[in-house]
Structures are given as C-alpha cells and as structure tokens.
Amino acid sequence: MAIEEVLRLLHVLGATVLFGTGLAIAFFMVMAVRTRDPQIIAHVTGIVVIADTVFTATAVVMQPLTGYGLARSIGWPLNEGWILLALALYVVVGLFWLPVVWIQIRLRNMARQAAAEASALPPGFDRLYRIWFAFGFPAFLAVIAIFWLMLTKPSISMFGLN
C-alpha cells in the first residue's frame, strides 16, 4: 500500500471516529439526562469524558497531520480554497468542542455530587446542559460541511489565493 493510500485511510478513519464519537456521545448524553437520575447521568457523563479524551482528542490531533501528509503526497497546494475553508471550519468545530468537554466534566461532577448526596440535580445543571446541547449543532453542521468539501473539492477562491 502506497503512503498516499495509508494516509487517505487514516484520514477517513479519523473523520469517522470524530463524527461517530460525536453522534454517540450526543445520543447517550441526551438519553441519560432525560432520565433525570443523577446516578445514571454521573455514570454516562463519566464514560463520555473518557470517550472524548481517548477517541475524539486522538482523532482531533491526527486529522490535520494526516490531512497535511495527504495533501503533500497528492500535490494539493495548501492554499487551495476548499482546504482553507475546511481548516477554518475545523477551527470552528474546535472552538465549540473545547467548551463542550469542560461542560461535560462539570455536568459529570454535578451529577456525581447529586448522586452522592441522594439529591436532585442542582439548578445550574439544566442551564449548562442546554449550552452543551446548543453547541453541538454548529459543530455538527461544520463537520458535515468539511465532509462535503473533502468529497467535492470545489473551486473556491479565498483571501485572494488560487
């Protein structure tokens, strides 16, 4: 297998991990919070934080590395409009993902405390959860847009380049 094929495979696998882990995390978080049971929420958010650390963070690092290697091996200039736009959207995804990770940790800790005290979730839990939920939409749409850019490679002129 040529280096280009290996890089392409790793890049697609990384994109799959990012997208799939994001969808799975969203699904399990929504389902857990719907129970309103602090023990269930604490357990699920604990797993979500681990999944984001192990899978998402690893893929987040690997995607630009494999993308750079792939672009170089194929001969795509890095100032191609679709590449620049994909990178800009990748930054947007990151700007939404980083606070989401912090929120997940806070939600986990709040649920753990409520479970330990056998009490209801604290008042701030729902506000933080709504922010977490809302941040998923722009990140999800940006990832879909990146997929579209990678698949179609449209001719886009950005910043006077190309």
Domain membership flag for residue 161 = no
If one counts the domains in the chain, the total is 1
Domain membership flag for residue 40 = yes
Residue 95's pLDDT is 96
What b/e sequence results for 5-44 when a residue is b if at least 16 CB atoms lie within 10 Å of its CB, and e otherwise?
eebbebbeebbebbbebbeebbeebeebbeeebbebbbbb
Domain membership flag for residue 159 = no
Residue 160's pLDDT is 56
Residue 142: give the domain boundaries. 3-152
Q: Return the structure tokens found at 29.
A: 């978080």
Domain membership flag for residue 157 = no
Residue 156: pLDDT above 90?
no
Domain membership flag for residue 64 = yes
Residue 131's pLDDT is 98
User: Dihedral through CA 18, CA 21, CA 26, CA 31, nearest 10?
Assistant: 170
Domain membership flag for residue 106 = yes
Residue 42's pLDDT is 98
Domain membership flag for residue 10 = yes
Over residues 54-100, the pLDDT tens digits come to 999 999 999 999 999 999 999 999 999 999 999 999 999 999 999 99
Q: pLDDT grade, residue 157 (50/70/90)?
A: confident
Q: Return the structure tokens found at 24.
A: 């799975």
Domain membership flag for residue 24 = yes
Note whether 121 and 41 are within 8 A (CB). yes
Note whether 14 and 66 are within 8 A (CB). yes
